[in-house]
Amino acid sequence: MEKIIKIKNLDCAACAAELSEELQQIEGVNAATADFINQRVSLSYESAEALEKAIGVIAGFEEVEIVDGNAPEKRESRLKEILSIAISAAFFVPGLLLTILYTAQDGWKWYLGVSFCLASFLAAGWEVGFNAGKNAVRAFKGGFHPSVLLDENLLMLVAAVGAIAIGEYMEAAAVVLLYQIGELLQSIAVGSSRGAIKRLMEMKSDSAIRLTEHGQEEVEPEALEAGDLILIRRGDKIPVDCTMAEGESELDTKSLTGESYLREVKAGDELLAGCVNEGNAFSARVLRPYTESAVAKVLELVENSSASKAKPEKFITKFARIYTPVVVLLAVLIALIPPLFQNYNFSEWLVPAIEFLVISCPCALIISVPLTYFSGVGALARIGVLTKGAVWLDKLAAVKVAAFDKTGTLTEGKFSVASAEGGEKVLLYAAAAEKNSSHPLAQAFANIETPYVAEHVEEIAGMGIACEIGGTHVLVGSSRLLRGHGVDVEESISDMVTVYVAENGVLLGKIGISDMVRPEAADALSALKKTGVKKIAVLTGDTEERAAETLKDLPVDEVCARLLPDEKPLRAGELKGEGTLLYVGDGINDTPVMAMSDVSAAMGGLGSGAAIEASDFVLAGDDLSALPKAVRGAKKTRKIVAENIVFSITVKIALMAVSLAATATGAFALPIWAAVFGDVGVMLLAVLNSMRMRRRIS
């Protein structure tokens, strides 16, 4: 069994890792992931007893609270932190001035400065000490958990108390004050990213107006069923995917596509949930229930995106669990070993040991790396590209070969009958047969009324349909289907899709079906190549001639035509050998190719549910121009992650080396506040760097 538990007050990635570890140790809990950015816990458990124990652990973890899913969410308040910092700063400024201007020989003036520093320390440091004490108790519950004990609160407390022990009262106050300021700024930065995702959640409409024979009734979107007639007023969010029944209007599609222009719609057009009506009121017919709508897919993807972590995230989490106990041991050795060779002068090496401990804290990495990936997921969502996890951002950034399905992906996939040869019977037979098909071409016959009923229907993948109509054997499909059944047919060359109809082994006629290339396709593929994609291929079951005619204006390097559904994955496997492969498709027949590819994307608006389930990315607005933007966003995310890792490690190693060298040579003493910058300052700079992902991807 699985359950999502919404929480609040889980403040950092390190805490989330600790909570996950505690939950995973509960008997009956198969898997547990605490997400500090989305503020939720994902549980996989075997029994109600295991769930009850897990809820107890979550509720008892630091200041974490379980949130009632139906309760309105309160705005996050930071008043306590701001007040604590303000009081501490008010004492710190005069304390700093007095301790700089006077010494202990000046009497009460210096002691007053020390008092101000101690008051500043208490105002900002009480919470640090309280949290360190709580963690010390938790660390020994059910065995010893060093990662719980040796967290940042304890490191800061040790640094501040150590400064007081050697008479550096001003530095003790500076340590906790700088730490609290850094924590507040980090909280604001994380809250900002969290807010960007919450704004996506506002895509869902709270209610819908259903039109019945008794008048209007207000219902929840989940209560709507396919075929219901609903009213969309000016300013309303479209609650579910539907078809416009009458009239004309304009839709704001920004929530799905990331673009602010208005889309003109008219009767018969498909409308996606999440868009806002900015024009006249109109009625619409529900196409599919809310759970299958575009907005539901978007929200589900966004909510679950943080569960799948990239390799750097997994490495940093595991690294921190081992790294922290190791550096604590090294700090103890620094405090104890060198003095044995320097006349047992332990006080001289106490400061560098404390500084080593503070500088080495891995918080900058633990926080900034997942925050960068989360911001990357949010940035892509704002341009209408949804990802199923951070791990896929790294793979998308590495793409060298891109393969596309043709129909419904590079073309609009909106089929209509353009011509019919052989009489009315040809069209009516085809309509009767295609009503039993799941192929996209069947859409062209959906609105054609026919008196005939197809029986004993057999859909032959990639070719067409064999059936019986009125006791006669009817074939509807490609020339290959008819030839396979012994029907003599001469294939016509046209830029339209041709469907042939045969009765009892005799060709009756043919039907031309039109489908236009997407207007943004050429520019999107050109932009994709500029991102570093070396080759673009198209995999289609269409004929070479028709595929070449349709794709002649697109920058495609290779067209693989006449592919049956089971042949597409084989060709994808060959392309995969030329570099990291991205596959983009929209139909059920694309799912095997998506599974074969390194990374895949589905057309979300008109794409099939199976393709969306199988893909790693979803183009929510069916807009191909979002794809190259997504690749650029993925590359930028990976670059910022690398910058944060290199910057954090470089600064920390440099400061640790300077601190130890200064003490060993006696040249100068590195102040403890500089060590605090090596932790809090580096963490803050890394977090601010990760916030660059909040900018719009162009």
Tokens 């290339």 map to which residue? 517
End-to-end CA distance of the chain: 42
Domains and CATH numbers, the chain: 2-66 (3.30.70.100), 416-514 (3.40.1110.10)
- pLDDT (0 to 100) of residue 386: 79
Average pLDDT value over all residues in the chain? 81
Q: What is the mean pLDDT of residues 103-129?
A: 89
User: Is residue 495 annotated as part of the catalytic site, yes or no?
Assistant: no
- Dump pLDDT digits (tens) for 543-571: 788 788 888 889 999 999 888 777 888 99
636 or 680, higher pLDDT: 636
Residue 39 CA to residue 45 CA, distance in Å, equals 19
Residue 308: pLDDT over 80: no
Q: Tens digit of pLDDT for each residue in 349-392?
A: 777 887 777 777 666 666 677 778 877 887 887 787 878 777 78
Beta strands 558-560; 535-539: pairing state: parallel
pLDDT band at residue 71 using 50, 70 and 90 as cut-offs: very low
CA pseudo-torsion sign 303, 304, 307, 313: negative
> What are the tens digits of pLDDT across the range 479-510?
889 999 999 888 776 767 889 999 999 999 99
How far is Cα 375 from Cα 192, in angstroms, rounded to an integer?
10
pLDDT at position 119 over 90? yes
List 35, 151, 252, 405, catalytic entry: 405
Q: Is the pLDDT of residue 438 over 60?
A: yes
Q: Is the pLDDT assigned to residue 529 strictly greater than 70? A: yes
- 212-254 per-position pLDDT tens digit: 988 899 998 888 998 999 999 998 988 888 899 988 899 887 7
Model pLDDT, residue 433 = 93
Task: Look at residue 562 in the predicted model and tell me its pLDDT.
Answer: 84
Structure pTM? Answer: 0.65
Specify the amino acid at residue 365: L
pLDDT of residue 72: 47
Least confident of 300-304, 398-402, 518-522: 300-304
Rounded Cα–Cα distance for residues 477 and 546 (Å): 15
Span 146-174, pLDDT tens digits: 666 666 677 778 777 877 877 778 878 88
DSSP letters for 369-389:
HHHHHHHHHHHHHHTTEEES-
Written as one letter, the residue type at 189 is: A
Per-residue three-class SS string for 276-301: EECCCCEEEEECCCHHHCHHHHHHHH
Q: Each residue of 596-644: pLDDT tens digit?
A: 899 999 887 655 566 676 788 888 778 899 999 999 999 999 999 889 8
